[in-house]
Amino acid sequence: MLKLLVLYPQPTDVQQFEADYKKHLELFHEKAGIPTHVKTYTITKMLPTPEGLPAFYQQFSLPFESLEALQMAVSTWLQEVGADAIRISTGGAPVVLIGNED
């Protein structure tokens, strides 16, 4: 199984990021055609360490059954949602990774 991971840097304004992210998730559900009550993803908030705030504020993880399914998402709706992710990420552009889960 493939996973699309989006790592959001620490935002310059956490409250604004949270408000924007709520709308971002609404856009995600709309464009992906997933009802808002269905959660196909996980969101992980990073906690401070003894060294201070981590580089990333949160991680979004979305599974895909195959490379073809991921490519279909990219060709249909993921580019628009990705552009919105960049827009709301005030601490710098999010880091996007694709991983293979065993």
Distance CA 84, CA 49 (A): 29
Q: Report the pLDDT value the prediction gives residue 68, as an integer from 0 to 100.
A: 95
What domain range is 55 assigned to?
A: 2-100
CATH of the domain at 94: 3.30.70.100
Q: Which residues of the chain have pLDDT under 70?
A: none
**Helical packing angle, 79-88 and 14-32, nearest 10°:** 170
pLDDT tens digits for range 56-85: 999 999 999 999 999 999 999 999 999 999
How many domains, the chain? 1
